[in-house]
Amino acid sequence: MQTLKLIENRSPYFIKFELPNLEDIKKLVMQIKTATMKKDDGNLSKTYSHVNLDPIDGQKIIDMFPLSKLYNFDADRVALFITPAYGGGGVHKDGPVLEKGTTGPHNISFNIPIKISDDKCVTKWYDDQTFEKEKIQHSRYSRNVFLDFTNTDKFEAKAQTIMDANNVLFVNTEQWHSFYNNSRHTRIVLTLRLAKQERKNHSFVSMANNLIDNNYLVN
Ligand SMILES: [Fe+2]
């Protein structure tokens, strides 16, 4: 795999890096979005919406993503993450607990910027101790400990970041995290997840170490 430029390493929370063909990926995603999403736009949530792309389109995007030479990604789980003005997500980990019929937890996500209009959407990570006394509320897509994303300042964040239009964010989705788009602009991010059979073989930290130790990500 080609060498990619590492922008910021905040392992075990997130790593920011550059993608040489980001503009080509954005162009393809916008074409797919325009072709497939018109009918659904009216149904989008006021907090955030998760829109899975057709797996045939998803595979095209995976094939353009350089890290797909190292890891298998899930073509059924290439999704647009659409956060409208003043939307967001409370403190959660991605994916449900592993039960029959569910895909189980996600360990990581690669978040590719599609439409980022400003620097007002902040994502924060917390450690496990902060929420160890909280009861976990389970949903089909996530495990939640605190829902009010506008009111997370009372918790100490271990890391926080703002996505920009030029860099990919590799995130640890098995650490508690939240996000708040305190902006009048909608934010659109494309998320890539590991193939189901790959998830048990990797963690954020093992992948981060592999990418850095083998010089796939270089300062
Ligand atoms: Fe998440």
Distance from residue 216's CA to the centre of ligand 1 (Å): 25
| Whole-number pLDDT of residue 90 | 97
Distance from residue 177's CA to the centre of ligand 1 (Å): 6
* 22 φ/ψ angles, rounded to the nearest 5 degrees: -55, -40
Answer yes or no: are the C-beta atoms of 3 and 203 closer than 8 Å: no
Q: Is 141 helix (H, G, I), strand (E, B) or coil?
A: coil
pLDDT band at 11 (very low <50, low <70, confident <90, very high): very high
| Whole-number pLDDT of residue 40 | 55
> Mean of the pLDDT values across residues 128-132?
96
Chain mean position to CA 140: 17
Distance from residue 27's CA to the centre of ligand 1 (Å): 25
Answer yes or no: are the C-beta atoms of 207 and 192 closer than 8 Å: no
DSSP letter at 90 equals E
Residues whose CB is less than 8 angstroms from the CB of residue 209 and which lie 6 or more positions away in sequence, other chains included: 11
Residue type, 201: N
As a whole number of angstroms, the distance between CA 142 and CA 92 comes to 6
Report the chain's mean pLDDT, rounded to a whole number: 93
Answer yes or no: are the C-beta atoms of 92 and 56 closer than 8 Å: no
| Whole-number pLDDT of residue 101 | 73
Distance from residue 37's CA to the centre of ligand 1 (Å): 22
Model confidence, pTM: 0.94
Please state, as a whole number, how many other Cβ atoms lie within 10 Å of the Cβ of residue 201.
13
180-214 residue pLDDT tens: 999 999 999 999 999 999 998 999 999 999 999 99
The CATH number corresponding to 4-195 among 3.40.50.720, 2.60.40.420, 2.40.50.100, 2.60.120.620 equals 2.60.120.620
| Whole-number pLDDT of residue 137 | 94
Distance from residue 32's CA to the centre of ligand 1 (Å): 23
Distance from residue 168's CA to the centre of ligand 1 (Å): 15
Answer yes or no: are the C-beta atoms of 88 and 47 closer than 8 Å: yes
| Whole-number pLDDT of residue 112 | 98
Answer yes or no: are the C-beta atoms of 60 and 28 closer than 8 Å: yes
Query: What are the extents of the domains in the chain?
Result: 4-195
